[in-house]
Amino acid sequence: MNSSMEVLDHVRLNFSPSGLLFLNIALAFIMFGVALGIKIDDFKDIIQKPKSAITGIIAQFILLPLLTFLLVLLVKPSPTIALGMILVASCPGGNISNFISSMAKANAALSVSLTAFATLSAIFMTPLNFSIWGNLYVKFHNNRVAESLMRPLEIDQLQMFQTVFILLGLPVIAGILFASRYPKTTAKIIKPLKTASLLFFIIMVIAMLSANFDHFKRFVHLVFFIVLMHNALALATGFLFSTLMKRPRVDRRTITIETGIQNSGLALALMFNPKIFPPELELGGMAVIAAWWGIWHILSGLTMASLWSRKPLFA
């Protein structure tokens, strides 16, 4: 299995500067739409009721990257697949987590608070986690392919920080400020804007992957069960840790969803950025992991939300 996976380590992605620009604009646009639903009071809730929020933050930014690293050592996938898993685990929660939390009859206010905090924290935590666990993987793996992938990241770590700040930080800050300054306008545009931005983003991701669709079609079966295993680990991390911390059932649902729904769109935007991952690198495994994650975590999240919404007595 591992030898067949290694074929992905030698797949060079097709980069399009114009496609990257549109993908970045789409991601920034969708984060602006998410931020319109975030209020300053959401951050006050984290301060006033900190235990559940801290539990969710630890699960997402500390435990998930750590456990992903251990999973990579256990499963022993090829280097680009391993680094793709670490990159996805380093990203903040996905933009649909609030919708899934509402559907699951979870704590919607906590979900919004965690999304707000995680998105802003990701400016620092995503580059930091990927650098720490990616470099540790290289040392444990002792593989030339992995070393060649990590070397430019050590040089361009500041570039990753800048990219995450531009794609997440600025749109979220702009959205929060817009919503607080123009509440009536926000109330009118928030629903159609969120729908439009999500559709726009899906179209842009499809367009970005279209140049590499043959790679995705040929190799997705190699990562199918790895992504299922990884996503199950993420969901279990949120649920078990929040249970250990004796959080209320409604909060456990939220923390589970926030930990299990990752912003794989950000991972794709980062790996398609030639200033972070130079085009001459062969990143097939990373792209296929992020692309399949983007599909699967929606399916798993909606399935879990559907079950929880029907059986509210079960945490």
pLDDT of residue 68: 96
**Number of domains observed in the structure of the chain:** 1
From CA 277, how far away is CA 291, in angstroms rounded? 17
pLDDT of residue 116: 77
pLDDT at 108 (0 to 100): 75
Q: What is the CATH number of the domain that holds 76?
A: 1.20.1530.20
Report whether 290 contacts 13 (CB < 8 A): no
For residue 311, how many other CB atoms are within 10 A of its CB? 10
Q: Is residue 315 part of a domain?
A: no
pLDDT at 315 (0 to 100): 44
Enumerate the H helices of the chain as residue ranges: 2-5, 17-35, 40-48, 50-58, 64-75, 79-90, 97-103, 108-141, 144-155, 157-164, 170-181, 183-210, 213-244, 249-260, 264-271, 284-310
- Beta-carbon count within 10 A of 90 CB: 29
Backbone angles phi, psi at 148, to 5 degrees: -65, -30
- Within-domain flag for 206: yes
- Position 277 in a domain: yes
DSSP 272: T
The rounded distance, in Å, linking the Cα atoms of 199 and 177 is 24
pTM above 0.75, yes or no: yes
Cα four-point dihedral sign 202, 204, 205, 207:
positive
Give me the phi and psi of 262, to 5 degrees please.
-105, 150
Query: Which residue numbers in the chain have pLDDT < 50?
Result: 1, 152-155, 313-315
Q: CA-CA distance, 186 to 169, in Å (whole number)? A: 19
CA 78, CA 281: separation in Å to the nearest integer?
15
- pLDDT at position 157 is 60
Q: What pLDDT is recorded for position 228? A: 93
Which domain does 64 fall in, by range? 2-310
Q: What three-state secondary structure class fits 25?
A: helix
Residue 218 falls inside a structural domain: yes
Q: 296 in a domain, yes or no?
A: yes
Tens digit of each residue's pLDDT (9 = 90 or more) over 129-146: 988 898 888 777 655 555
The rounded distance, in Å, linking the Cα atoms of 279 and 82 is: 19
pLDDT in the model for residue 281: 63
pLDDT attached to residue 313:
46
Task: Let me know how long the chain is.
Answer: 315
